[in-house]
Amino acid sequence: MRRTIAAVLVLGLVAGCGGTAPAEQQQSGQWSFKDDRGKEVTAEKRPERVVAQVSAAGALKDYGINVVGTFGPLKRADGTTDPEAGSIDPSQVTDVTGPGYGEIDFEKFAALNADLVVAGYYPEVSGLWHLTAEFEEKVLKVAPTVGIGQSKIQLPDGVKRFRELAKALGADIESAKVKADEAAFDKAAARLKDIGGKMTAANQKIQVVGADPKLFYVAVPARNPDLDWYAEELGLPLLTPDKPDSEGGGYFQSLSWENSGTYKEHVIMWDTRQHVLDPEKMKEGHPVFQALPAVQANRFVEWNAVAPLSYASYAAIMNKLADQLDQVLAK
């Protein structure tokens, strides 16, 4: 169980790798794009039928590129769009997700006549996000793949990489909408920076957590593009745990529930993904956790751990986080 959950968390504790050059439409007519694996991806013409891992699909859509299919968590049990998919309308795409992690329904995928597949990329994991190396090999027989980095960067870098890919796919990244989204992103970031300054002055910190029935996880901000940027550039006072796990990329420190009180910070930011326990579930049968000051005062805010890397997506996320912090800090 631990290995399974840890693997999911490692793959999900968010989102791009280096900023390589954007694609060009070469004189010969061939399309090319250098992805974050250093791979020069080429096609005879600019791809028009893109299948993408859900958060990549959401980011591309926010820049004006609609995909024909997705893989990864698209809908929740109640029928609503999974936050990982962002602005994607599930009724407008074909879900080619397979039965196991990293698998796709190849029959559905083949029927889409895809000419490009896009997914996140973690350098410490083989294959792509939600697409194992084995299934990527099958996909490559149909269409080339692009991997956009999901670790060892800060949030704006990942946002810009998807903007570059969207431009290469024909999007107008200078449109009024994209400019408005970028302005909203900057404004929301300024709100968090202001809150961070006030919290630091008050000697208050935030611990970012996830949990399953057996273990309690404290996230390492430096290993997650959004958290790293919040902490290093915006000054949001996020706790860095003392002993990150040596295995799995060091994305978190895993603790027994008996040790869930190791860190007693003023605010708890919790991972909102479906497979992670919500605060009410965390409280059940866990008296040490229940006794934490933040839990007693109900000072919880949400962490959208694997959201699409776009200006629109994170403008909304940061504004929501700022609203929640304003509310809980008043308690």
Range of the domain at 158: 2-172
Rounded to whole angstroms, the Cα distance separating 4 from 253 reads 16
Separation CA 206–CA 268 (nearest Å): 6
Q: Which of 119, 154, 172 is the last residue of a domain?
A: 172
CATH number, domain containing residue 262: 3.40.50.1980
How many residues can be counted in the chain? 331
The domain tally of the chain equals: 2
Alpha-carbon span 71 to 326, nearest angstrom: 36
**In this structure, are 165 and 260 located in the same domain?**
no
Tell me the C-alpha to C-alpha distance, in Å, between residue 41 and each of 24, 35, 102, 146: 11, 7, 21, 7
What is the full per-residue pLDDT of the chain (331 aa) written as tens digits? Answer: 333 333 343 434 333 333 333 444 444 469 999 999 999 999 999 999 999 999 999 999 999 999 999 999 999 988 889 999 999 999 999 999 999 999 999 999 999 999 999 999 988 889 999 999 999 999 999 999 999 999 888 999 999 999 999 999 999 999 999 999 999 999 999 999 999 999 999 999 999 999 999 999 999 999 999 999 999 999 999 999 999 998 878 899 999 999 999 999 999 999 999 999 999 999 999 999 999 999 999 999 999 999 999 999 999 999 999 999 999 999 8
- 199 and 261 belong to one structural domain: yes
Same domain flag for 156 and 9 = yes
Tokens of 144: 């080339």
Do residues 150 and 265 both lie within one domain? no
Q: Are residues 238 and 266 in the same domain?
A: yes
Tell whether 45 and 185 lie within a shared domain.
no
Q: Which of 172, 192, 222 is the last residue of a domain?
A: 172
Q: Kindly list the strands in the beta sheet with 40-43, ordered across the sheet, starting from the edge strand earlier in the chain.
A: 24-25, 31-34, 40-43
**In this structure, are 168 and 236 located in the same domain?**
no
Q: Are strands 69-71 and 50-53 parallel, antiparallel or unpaired?
A: parallel
**pLDDT value at position 9?**
39
pTM confidence score: 0.90
Is there a single domain that holds both residue 202 and residue 218? yes
